[in-house]
Copies of this chain bind each other. A is one copy, B any other.
Amino acid sequence: PAKKNWAETMKVRGYMQIRSNPIIGGDKDISHQADRSIGDNNNFLIRRMRLIFFGDIGERLSYYIQPDFASRTGDGTGNIAQLRDAYGDIYLTKDRVHRLRVGQSKIPYSFENLQSSQNRIALDRNDALNSCCKDERDLGVFYYYTPEDKQEMFKYLVDSGLKGSGNYGVFAFGAYNGTGANRAENNDNLHLVSRFTYPVKFENGQIFEAGIQGIYGTFKPSRSGTVVADSKTDGFKDQRVGVHAVLYPQPFGLQAEWNWGKGPSLNDAGTMIEETSLNGGYIQAMYRITDFFGYGVMLPFVKWQYYDGAQKFESNAPQNHVNDWEAGFEWQPVPEIEFTAYYSKLDRNNLATAPYSKYNTDILRFQLQYNF
């Protein structure tokens, strides 16, 4: 056959999110690890600015390279390019049922973690499951098993606007560094992860998906100030089990997850990092109006989340006690433009600076997203 043009084996696409989060009540001296524009003295922020370079080469390789141009360096230089995804899928069988994903990619744990931020309704992921994984990603080797009919179904759930997770296998197993995306490994242990999920289509056409997942590893948090680490020089137990269930919004949808585990956590006195239990999750209801008075797609939603644990990726692994409510909508007047607006009642810890106090704050959240 004729040699292919490069633009046939590589494609480029992207998306961008611009936010503003005015405080309308409660404590003002706050910070939120998922969005730097939440807090006093803030206006606009570019939360994500992604370009994705991807394609298939031959019958054995797909690749996916996704830098984020809204990242920051440790010294605060803003809007620099840093990798999110950078991996290849090596197809062990040409029907793509069995494949190895090697590189930096999402860890197959939780449903919401795997669902793209481009598709998620709420602006940030829940803390309870998301705290497993820095930027949801890590560097390692992952095996995915996806029968051909489920390949089609996972694809349909994204392409149709039903806000699926994409294809992370019906069954997944992986081993990865465990320090988080873009961070150097700091111990000899690999983290292990496994996940099982199963989407089924009812006779009335509605799709339901449920599953279970677990992580097993050892984690060494960074420390600052005078905090000590309970003689765990090689790291703390970092173990979790989670369950998820999703009724896709056709038009009414429900989505819920919960996880339990143990991991490093700063003690109450703020002096020492110890091994502690954690648990938490969320439940979300949504309703998808595919023709909103002739002005595109409208998706009202309400979400409650709870977390009783710690944020191990922050310095000193501070405790995080979350009990948040969110209610609002996502509106897509045309597929390439999305506008999200909602009210959010925050009840959580300020993880940025000791003593990591609790705060109660009401904010509005606005996001404009471009898909291109």
Contacts and interface: CB of A to CB of B under 8 A. Distances in A.
Interface stretch (A1-9, A262-270, A317-325): A1-9
Given A44-B139, A90-B337, A190-B43, A81 B78 contact: no
Interface stretch (A148-156, A162-170, A176-184, A273-281): A176-184
A63 B10 contact: no
B18 A11 contact: no
Contact of A337 (B53, B69, B88): B88
Contact of A78 (B6, B75, B103, B183): B183
A186 interface: yes
Interface stretch (A54-62, A118-126, A237-245): A54-62
A58 B334 contact: yes
Nearest to A84: B79
A80 interface: yes
Contact of A69 (B67, B368, B372): B67
Nearest to A180: B78
A43 B336 contact: no
A207 interface: no
Contacts of A185: 37, 41-45
Contact of A80 (B70, B80, B184): B80
A109 to B, nearest CB: 18
Interface string A12-26: 111010100000000
Which of A7, A40, A104, A372 lies at the interface centre, i.e. has the most chain B CB atoms within 10 A of its CB? A372
A102 interface: yes
Interface string A250-294: 000000000000000000000000000000000000000000000
A337 B176 CA distance: 21
A140 interface: yes
A6 B13 contact: yes
- Bin chain A's interface residue count: 35 or more
Interface string A63-93: 1010101111111111111110010101000
B6 A5 contact: no
Given A81-B81, A139-B46, A337 B61 contact: yes
A49 interface: yes
Contacts of A73: 73-75, 77, 80
A370 interface: yes
A188 interface: yes
Interface string A283-323: 00000000000000000000000000000000000000000
B14 A372 contact: no
Nearest to A186: B41
A157 interface: no
11 contacts: A9-B372, A14-B65, A16-B88, A43-B188, A45-B139, A57-B372, A60-B337, A61-B370, A67-B69, A70-B83, A88-B368
The 3 closest A-B pairs by CB, nearest first: A81-B81, A78-B182, A79-B83
Given A78-B183, A90-B337, 8 more contacts: A12-B12, A18-B103, A41-B185, A43-B185, A51-B53, A58-B336, A73-B74, A80-B81
